[in-house]
Amino acid sequence: MICSDIDENTCDLYTSGDCYVLAKELFDQEVGELSAVVVQDRWDCWTHMAVKIGPDSYLDVEGISSSEELIECHSRGNHKMTVITIDEEEYSELIIGQHRQIESPKKVTMLAEALLSWLEELE
């Protein structure tokens, strides 16, 4: 994992509830493909979302991870997990019933822009 420079409180918020909001913002800014960590036999049972930015590279608030690292960090119980790429329709189906913890869409945009700046510095 290549860790981002985002503060710990923000990382907690976007790994414990609002990951799907940030993933969608990054997708909308054309950073990568929407991706979800899901139970292997039930794609609709997900635990985390990020954007795929390379063959086995995923960007979320914590930084850049491989699929193996995402699975290790976001597995729940004894279920076998996998990372899949999802389209916007599947995304909409997965987030039904989710309640945002953040109050301002502007904060998500600013966070996405901070991650993009950090990503550019790595290159």
Model confidence over 70-91: pLDDT tens digits?
A: 999 999 888 899 999 999 999 9
Residues spanned by the domain of 74: 2-122
Number of folded domains in the chain? 1
The pLDDT value recorded for residue 103 is 67
Task: Tell whether the model's pLDDT for residue 56 goes beyond 90.
Answer: yes
**Residue 64, CA distances (Å) to 11, 36, 43, 69 in order:** 13, 14, 22, 9
Alpha-carbon span 76 to 64, nearest angstrom: 21
The pLDDT value recorded for residue 110 is 94
Alpha-carbon span 38 to 81, nearest angstrom: 5
Whole-structure pTM over 0.85, yes or no? yes
